[in-house]
Structure 1
Amino acid sequence: MSDNTRLKILNTIEQMCMLCVEQMYRLPSSLPSLTINEQKYQWNNKIDDRNRRDFTRYIYVLSTIHRLVRTQSRMNMRELFYSQVNLFHHQRISDNIVEQIARHLCVDRRQLGFVATAKGFCAGNVQYRNLRSGEIIDCNQLSNGQLIVDDDIEIIETENRITFILIVEKDTIFQHLLNDGFLTRYCGACLITGRGQPDHATRSFLLQLSHLYNDTPIYILTDCDIFGVLIAYTYQSTFDENHHNRLRWLGVWPEELLSLFSLNISQTLPITDERERRMITRFIQRSDIKVEWRRQVSFFEQHQRKMEIEAIYENGTKKLIDDYLHDKLMGHRWL
């Protein structure tokens, strides 16, 4: 962040709070107030508890931002919430205030000193530099993967280029693949997981990686349910419209449920939740979905069955790598 942006944030916060303090010392007819995002908060004897609490929350977050920006420190969003649990009650409240102030100041959340709680992991043929600390991280040296932090990083292009990037939905599968020697068999690969729906840091990391290695294939492996499909779609939406096809869905595809390694019915699960059924219907009706993806999701509607990736492990821990993934990668089978 430039010094000019930093000074602008500090000056704006100081001016906003100074106005409130000045008004507190005026005549009773002049009431202290604070306007953020066109919503005015006034402090007087008639104010109700809810407005008083909202006002206090904003002042507290503003003071925290001022300290972080002034000292050039960082705090994750979870820390902010836990610093005043009784004031915020729910993390979504403190998160929303930070986002509103960021919009009001026309800056990014990270420029206010806030980072998301780290969630995603990366392993394999990737090195990057933390621009704040200067530390260089080599993801090949870490047996359980490297946490992807929401910070200023620069991915370093290595002499041995990445052969492909595989994104897996779940941390359990990520760890299974590492333990079962996936990166030994595919030594130039990069393995990423967002542990469910990917956070900002994971998607930003993937985007930077894809820009550096712009001809490297990117694959995704998810559970065979509507939530897995939506996660794949979220990753695809990380790229702009001209690069949506960078991400290729390996599966597990719904149409594979009845034939995958002589799968028996005990390994699949019934779709009984009405919310899940509605999500399937809405996905099929969307006009921005590729025809083949829509056809696959229609299978859920027709057969009312789903499956988790872990079911493939039932016939041996190596089956996912040796049979399923190898067949997809070498046979060029993806959507």
Structure 2
Amino acid sequence: MDDKKKKRRRPDPSSDEETRLPFKNRLKPDSVILESLRDLLNTSSSSASTSKTLTLADLALASTCREVNELSLPSVESAIESLILKIARSILDGHGFSFDVPSRSAANQLYVPELDRIVLKDKTSLRPYANISTVRKSTITTRILQLIHQLCAKSIHVTKRDLFYTDVKLFQDQTQSDSVLDDVSCMLGCTRSSLNVIAAEKGVVVGRLIFSDNGDMIDCTKMGMGGKAIPPNIDRVGDMQSDALFILLVEKDAAYIRLAEDRFYNRFPCIIVTAKGQPDVATRLFLRKMKMELKLPVLALVDSDPYGLKILSVYGCGSKNMSYDSANLTTPDIKWLGIRPSDLDKYKIPEQCRLPMTEQDIKTGKDLLEEDFVKKNPGWVEELTLMVKTKQKAEIQALSTFGFQYLSEVYLPLKLQQRDWL
């Protein structure tokens, strides 16, 4: 009777692990993945060395476009003085006091496929002092010009917050002084960083990068899980050195901390950067500098929602608000690594970890599908169409359903192994 008893089958440990950590058994040895990354680096480096960087001047565009340049402090000071003298002459000639301000509206912007970035056209609008609708903005513009002139004379930097607090009653709200600051950059024909007004530190970097910050050598492998704050004024940064195979651009701080604590950059040599959400100017400048100097490919890890793709497009194609400075702020050829809408089913993300898209999310997704910079990339169109159709979104942290380290131990290695980026 005992002989006829069926023996219990031992559970298959590999099957159990596959349930807990989907697709881990598909991972090949790290050496194979590293070889794939070296191929990507070689392709990126050879492409960068053989292709000439196009500029607006190289293109015969139907519309005249406006671009700004990096100017020295004496040049900015001189430009402000020339502008004020011109206004003084206008007043003496009886034509009144007004500023001719470049329009930064959406109607005055143009996506240039050859450059893969948004640029500003040459339309301007008059901002007269003797007009009740523009008198206050004209006053703010004059005050900002005065403050910038002082900064140039003293050769010092201040934050945008400092600038706002010099005249709170006039500015009323920092968004107003910030907006006029961009107008002033356009008027003077210089980058915003040339004005010596910086934003508070926001972005951080960790991984296989050494650079000098105002003369001090910084090793980003020895900065702990917090990383090194990206300097707000890029002119302090120099002498970049790296043995990384790629740059990993991360949207969220939470994903960045996970990868930094797991020292993902040691297993797969890389530089990890985040602006903790919407990218600031300093992080965009720093990322571009790394890309251009180190000739490394950039892979982006963002949320699977319309705003993740918008953030990615700001890094790659530029923001509409600062389209006048897109030549200095954009990083060409960023690849969308994840998390993509197709990954939700592909990696078996549970339904409880997916979020329903709101009506605003769906509208934003549909609006993005109409953008030229999205239409240029068929893969982006396919993923965004799927997102809008399924009406589902997910954050990077949805992967934590399989374990807190699933992102660094399975998802990203498998993505890199399969060269699964757009």
TM-score range, shorter chain: 0.7 to 0.9
Q: Which residue of 2 aligns with 1:284?
A: 369
Distance 1:142 1:178, change over 3 A: same
| Residue aligning to 2:250 | 168
Task: Name the structure 1 match of 2:59.
Answer: none
TM-score (norm 2): 0.67
CA distance 1:316–1:71, shift in 2 (3 Å): same
Does the CA contact (< 8 Å) of 1:118 and 1:149 recur in 2? Answer: yes
State the match for 1:227 in structure 2.
307
Please tell me the residue identity of whatever aligns with 1:327: L
Partner SS for 1:207 = helix
| Residue matched to 1:248 | 335
In 2 relative to 1, CA 203–245 (structure 1 residues): closer, same or farther, beyond 3 Å? closer
User: Corresponding residue for 2:282?
Assistant: 201
Measure how far apart 1:245 and its partner are.
7.3
Show the counterpart of 2:128: 40
Give the distance between the partners of 1:79 and 1:19, measured in 2 at CA.
Answer: 32
Q: 2:379, 2:188 → 1: CA distance?
A: 43
* Closer, same or farther: CA 307–212 of 1 in aligned 2, 3 Å: same
CA distances 1:2-40 after superposition (whole Å, capped 9, x unpaired): 4651551463366479779x98xxxxxx99963222422
Q: Helix, strand or coil for the counterpart of 2:345?
A: coil
Q: Is the 8 A contact 2:356 2:391 kept in 1?
A: yes
1:142 aligns with 2:223: yes
- 1:74-122 deviation line (CA, Å, top 9, x unaligned): 1122221233333212222112222222222222222222123332211
Task: Give me the whole-angstrom Cα distance separating, in 1, the residues matched to 2:169 and 2:159.
Answer: 18
Separation of aligned partners in 2, 1:52 and 1:237: 34
Q: Does 1:269 align with 2:355?
A: yes
Q: Look up the match of 1:81.
A: 164
Choose from 280, 288, 302 the match for 2:389.
Answer: 302
Aligned match for 2:414, one of 322, 327, 331: 327
Deviations 1:273-306 (A, max 9, x none): 2221112222234453311111111111221111
- Structure 1 segments unaligned to the other structure (5+ residues): 24-29
Cα RMSD, aligned residues only: 3.0
Alignment of 1:66-215 (within 5 A): 66-130=149-213, 133-143=214-224, 144-151=226-233, 152-158=235-241, 160-186=242-268, 188-214=269-295
Cα separation, partners in 2 of 1:247 and 1:111, compared to 1, 3 Å: closer
**Percent identity of paired positions between Structure 1 and Structure 2:** 26
Q: CA deviation at 1:176?
A: 1.6
Distance 2:352 2:254 in 1: 21
Listed one character per residue, the Cα deviations across residues 46-75 of structure 1 (whole Å, up to 9, x for unaligned) are: x75x65543442332222112101000111
TM-score w.r.t. structure 1 length? Answer: 0.82
Q: Secondary structure at the match of 2:181?
A: helix
For 2:240 and 2:331, how far apart are their aligned partners in 1? 23
Distance 1:283 1:66, change over 3 A: closer
Deviation at 1:319, TM superposition (A): 0.8
**Partners in 1 of 2:168 and 2:404 — Cα distance?**
44
- More off after superposition, 69-78 vs 279-288: 279-288
Q: Determine the C-alpha separation between the residues in 2 that align with 1:244 and 1:291.
A: 20
Distance 1:182 1:311 in 2: 19
Q: Distance in 1 between matches of 2:76 and 2:337?
A: 44
| Aligned residue identity for 2:78 | K
1:155, 1:208 within 8 Å by CA — same for their partners in 2? no
- Give the whole-Å Cα distance in 2 for the aligned partners of 1:142 and 1:212: 22
d(CA) in 2 for partners of 1:231, 1:333: 20
The structure, 1 or 2, with the larger RCO (C-alpha pairs under 8 Å, 6+ apart) is 2
- SS state at 2:200 partner: coil
SS in structure 2 at match of 1:176: helix
Contact (CA 8 Å) 2:202, 2:276: kept in 1 or not?
yes
Q: What is the Cα deviation at residue 220 of structure 1?
A: 0.7
Aligned-pair CA distance for 1:200 = 2.1
Code of the residue aligned with 2:98 in structure 1: it is: T
Q: Give the corresponding residue for 1:317.
A: 404
CA distance in 1, matches of 2:419, 2:315: 20
Q: Name the aligned partner's letter for residue 40 of structure 1.
A: P
Structure 2 unmatched runs, 5+: 1-70, 101-125, 319-325
In structure 1, C-alpha distance between the alignment counterparts of 2:188 and 2:179, rounded to whole Å: 14
What letter is aligned with 1:297? L
Q: Are 2:252 and 2:275, in contact at CA under 8 Å, matched by a contact in 1?
A: yes
CA distance in 2, matches of 1:84, 1:284: 42
